[in-house]
């Protein structure tokens, strides 16, 4: 039922993790997937995976914090039916331990990067009076998580932008929603554990997994399933909403 034939889907950060899973899911369902990714090799690999399954895709090397580059990429794409604002970075630290450099980096990618893609995509959607935008938020936007000051700030901004865009473009036939995962097992998690807890990776991983009441981390594919549904015609009555996909993190932790 979830058919995206003749749809142009843009996925930022589509070379790994949730972005990769979303790119593959859309490609499997007939969409032409445009992957905006800083890492050219990762993006090229996902394109190959999509094409191997009979789908269509193209990689675009892009730093989403660079508005000129983002504008050029969207101009080249030409028509955008669905935008997945997924590109993002994390950071460990509190307000008094987060450096200005780290704060600016998180802001420029997670917040400005989302804005840059909205700024470029919305006029293309307005021109054809239709479009769907899905922003990757986080439980950190609405829940206090220790040592995630800059990251939480950025996802709070993404949550607010989702509501603003949903409200502002109702008359243009544009829907905008967000999803808020809790911890999802991506390559980022493995790299983080290897860097910060050498020799204790499994112990710390198990502890992080247990912060979800369901007892485990989510998978990128589980998040991608929700993303695909919210961008489908079956979800045409849904806009201005944030959906937690968190193993009970927000409602069941006591």
Annotated catalytic sites, by residue? 151
Question: Which 3-state string (H, E, C) describes 146-198?
Answer: CCEHHHHHHHHHHHHHHHHHHHHCHHHCEEEEEEEECCECCHHHHHHHHHHCC
Give bridge partners of residue 56 from the DSSP assignment. 32
Closest CA to 133 of 102, 107, 109, 168: 168
Count of C-beta atoms within a 10 Å radius of residue 202: 10
Pairing of β 242-245 and β 82-85: unpaired
Query: How many Å apart are CA 158 and CA 15, to the nearest integer?
Result: 21
C-alpha–C-alpha distance, residues 111 and 172, integer Å: 23
Contacts (Cβ under 8 Å, ≥6 apart) of 23: 11, 14, 33, 35, 46, 50, 57
Q: Which residues pair with 242 in a beta bridge?
A: 178
Radius of gyration over every alpha carbon of the chain, rounded to an integer in angstroms: 18
Contacts with 41 (C-beta within 8 Å, 6 or more apart), sequence order? 15
């Amino acid at each position: 039922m979830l058919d995206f034939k003749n749809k142009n889907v843009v996925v930022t950060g589509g070379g790994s993790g949730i972005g990769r899973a979303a790119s593959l899911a859309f490609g499997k369902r007939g969409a032409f997937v445009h992957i905006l990714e800083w890492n050219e090799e990762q993006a090229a690999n996902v394109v190959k995976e999509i094409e191997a399954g009979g789908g269509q895709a193209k990689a675009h090397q892009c730093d989403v914090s660079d508005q000129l580059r983002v504008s050029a990429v969207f101009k080249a794409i030409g028509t955008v039916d669905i935008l997945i604002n997924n590109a993002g970075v994390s950071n460990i630290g509190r307000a008094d331990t987060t450096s200005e450099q780290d704060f600016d980096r998180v802001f420029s990618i997670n917040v400005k990067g989302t804005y840059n893609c909205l700024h470029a995509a919305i006029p293309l959607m307005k021109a054809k009076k239709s479009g769907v935008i899905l922003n990757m938020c986080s439980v950190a936007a609405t829940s206090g998580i220790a040592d995630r000051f800059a990251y939480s700030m950025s996802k709070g901004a993404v949550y607010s932008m989702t509501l603003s865009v949903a409200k502002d473009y109702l008359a243009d036939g544009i829907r905008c929603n967000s999803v808020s995962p809790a911890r999802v097992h991506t390559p980022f998690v493995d790299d983080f554990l290897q860097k910060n807890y050498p020799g204790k990776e499994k112990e710390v991983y198990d502890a992080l997994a247990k912060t979800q009441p369901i007892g485990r981390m989510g998978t990128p594919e589980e998040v991608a399933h929700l993303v695909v549904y919210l961008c489908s015609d079956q979800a045409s009555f849904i806009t201005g909403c944030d959906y937690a996909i968190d193993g009970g993190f927000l409602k069941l932790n006591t």
